[in-house]
Structure 1
């Protein structure tokens, strides 16, 4: 029996955890572009959906804040005079503004 087989027999749980960690590292590396975009998606989703709920559909602010609430923390800044919403989450910030009756809300670059 070689050294590797002996290690697996002596510490099966550690071997499985090491293999799982290796698989996760490979998966993260293959999906690194999508994983880098994820924080922006959270703030953009929150800003756009809140803007649509508030200014397109016309729901009250409290209802819309509950509607877009997520497991990940984010903050909302609602400017009713300009009908603009800014959301910050996971270190990224996104804004959406109401463009009009036919255009609805649009994310700002």
Structure 2
């Protein structure tokens, strides 16, 4: 009976505690995907920009707009001579390099 009276006396605190518990359960369930998220930002930016620029032969300004995301990248380097693109976001960096006409661009390990 004490727990029922606690809920009746403090309904907002009880609701917030329940929502916090639900949030924790969701984070635990999605922990693998959430851990991979920071790497996805830089990898997507590098690979898509490389493909846009060197496979589709679009202008650099167009490709920068094409890969723009709501989560910004902290560093972006396009090396047209080597056809190599590096991007860094959320503390992770990725590099994509143009392999050839038939292969396109590939992320470096």
Shorter-chain TM-score: which interval? Answer: over 0.9
Q: Alpha-carbon deviation of 1:30?
A: 2.2
Q: What SS does structure 2 have at the residue aligned with 1:6?
A: helix
Aligned to 2:97: 97
Q: Aligned Cα RMSD in Å?
A: 1.0
Structure 1, unaligned runs of 5 or more:
none
Q: How many residues align?
A: 108
CA shift digits 1:9-33 (9 cap, x unpaired)? 1222221111111111122112212
**TM superposition score normalised by structure 2:** 0.93
Which stretches of structure 1, 4 residues or longer, exceed 3 Å deviation after superposition?
none
Aligned to 2:25: 26
CA shift digits 1:20-64 (9 cap, x unpaired)? 111111221122122111110111111100000010011111111
Aligned to 1:69: 68
**TM superposition score normalised by structure 1:** 0.93
- Mapped to 1, the partners of 2:3 and 2:72 lie a distance apart of 44
Structure 2, unaligned runs of 5 or more:
none
- Mapped to 1, the partners of 2:76 and 2:53 lie a distance apart of 12
